[in-house]
Amino acid sequence: MLMRIPQLSDYRMPAEWAPHLATYLVWPHNLDTWPGKFDPVPPIFAQIAATLAHFEPVRILVRDTLVIQDVMAMIRACGGVGGEPLRTDRIELLPIVTNDSWIRDYGPIFLNRIAPGNDGPRQIAVDWRFNCWGGKYGACNLDDAVPRRLAEHYGYEAVDADMVLEGGSIDVNGAGTLLTTESCLLNQNRNPSMGRGDIELKLRSFLGVEQVLWLGEGIAGDDTDGHVDDVARFTGVNTIAAVIEQDPADVNYAPLQDNLARLHAMRNRDGNPFRIVTLPMPSPLHTNQVRLPASYANFYITNGAVLMPSFGCAADEVAQATLAHLFPDRCVIAIPSADLVWGLGAIHCLTQQHPLPA
């Protein structure tokens, strides 16, 4: 149900590493998203779903009931993780029609109640507006309706934020700090009537954050105008993993160095510097002479694992070792993503967490 919650200050968006109730996926169906390369994509989704199910429930949106049997067969073919059987009891296929599969950007963003003694629900979801990354592609009305459709199906309460925002454009530490980029949130193709101050006020009001930290630009090939989940991610309350490019001749070198300098200058809410850990950029990937937005920052944190995109280059091992060091209580599982990123996104873009209610 869609409603207005009067005391949003009692709620806060948890960090991605907080316990999950489930993960949402949208089974791929839009051939235009991976033009000429769609066939390898469903098996990768099946691998993602089977892997996630080992650690937590997976709720997969499919276009209709007719495909459910085929989708489950493809997931079953992947088997379980670590020699254990596939957890089919944790996989739910839900017929909800969508325009595309990037649920990170149009799915619900959940907030948990932090104020004791509040009579409101333990958890609410925020329904942000979705305009297809600044109106770059075709219809997105079905995607924009997903938070309401899910709220109706699962019975959670949702609040309308009345602002365009994609989930991949923000990252939070669960303790009141949010990280984003100027190139995306300040772009006039989202909320042209809103300035930086207006946007910060909305983020504070509807995500329960007190501190908004701004990076500059995203990476080359990113059609989202620079989502932060390809650039820098919180891996702890005071730790941020940031991608850097070692080659000064590469198009990503200068903007990522600028972001790194900004990160080192930032201070947390206590006035202390963050711990900044760097991730490499993978070797450049191109398709038809188009630079693809491949980044190890596009990982997804589950209850017991981190799913990391891999791209078939030497930097894969470095990135996996770095993430393993950052998440010692989780295993880091590499998901081959060179074909996924032809659709201009990877693991984090395709997932949306439903945190366990507080």
Query: Distance (Å, rounded) from C-alpha 39 to C-alpha 235?
Result: 33
The active-site residue out of 78, 132, 184, 349 is 349
Q: What is the mean pLDDT of residues 234-247?
A: 98
Residue 238 has which token pair? 């005071």
2-355 maps to which CATH number? Answer: 3.75.10.10
The per-residue pLDDT for 119 is 73
- The three state secondary structure string of the chain is CEECCCCHHHEECCCCCCCEEEEEEECCCCHHHCCCCCCCHHHHHHHHHHHHHHHCCEEEEECCHHHHHHHHHHHHCCCCCCCCCCCHHHEEEEECCCCCCCHHHHCCEEEEECCCCCCCCCEEEEEEECCHHHHCCCCCHHHHCHHHHHHHHHCCEEEEEEEECCHHHCEECCCCEEEEEHHHHCCCCCCCCCCHHHHHHHHHHHHCCCEEEEECCCCCCCCCCCCHHHCEEEEECCEEEEEECCCCCCCCHHHHHHHHHHHHHCECCCCCECEEEEEECCCCCEECCEECCCCCCCCEECCCEEEEEECCCCHHHHHHHHHHHHCCCCEEEEEECCCHHHHCCCCHHHCEEEECCC
* Residue 305 near residue 348 (C-beta atoms within 8 A): no
Proportion of the chain above pLDDT 70, given as a percent? 98
End-to-end CA distance of the chain: 20
Q: What is the mean pLDDT of residues 119-125?
A: 89
The per-residue pLDDT for 118 is 66
Catalytic status, residue 349 = yes
Q: Is the pLDDT of residue 1 over 80?
A: no
Query: Distance (Å, rounded) from C-alpha 132 to C-alpha 258?
Result: 27
The per-residue pLDDT for 120 is 81
Q: Is the pLDDT of residue 2 over 70?
A: no
User: How does pLDDT run across 7-33, given as a tens digit for each residue?
Assistant: 788 999 999 999 999 999 999 999 999
Half-sphere exposure of 129 (CA within 13 A, CB side): 11
User: How does pLDDT run across 280-332, given as a tens digit for each residue?
Assistant: 999 999 998 889 999 999 999 999 999 999 999 999 999 999 999 999 999 99
Query: Distance (Å, rounded) from C-alpha 2 to C-alpha 125?
Result: 9
The per-residue pLDDT for 79 is 96
User: How does pLDDT run across 140-188, given as a tens digit for each residue?
Assistant: 999 999 999 999 999 999 999 999 999 999 999 999 999 999 999 999 9
How much is the pTM?
Answer: 0.97
Q: What is the mean pLDDT of residues 346-351?
A: 98
User: How does pLDDT run across 36-73, given as a tens digit for each residue?
Assistant: 999 999 999 999 999 999 999 999 999 999 999 999 99
Residue 337 has which token pair? 């993503």
Residue closest to 103 by CA, chosen among 184, 26, 13, 170: 26
Give the torsion sign (CA, 163, 164, 169, 174): positive
Beta-bridged to residue 300, according to DSSP, are 307
Phi, psi of 263 (to 5 degrees): -60, -40
User: How does pLDDT run across 256-289, given as a tens digit for each residue?
Assistant: 999 999 999 999 999 999 999 999 999 999 998 8
Query: Distance (Å, rounded) from C-alpha 156 to C-alpha 152?
Result: 7
pLDDT band at residue 6 under the 50/70/90 scheme:
very low
Phi, psi of 53 (to 5 degrees): -65, -20
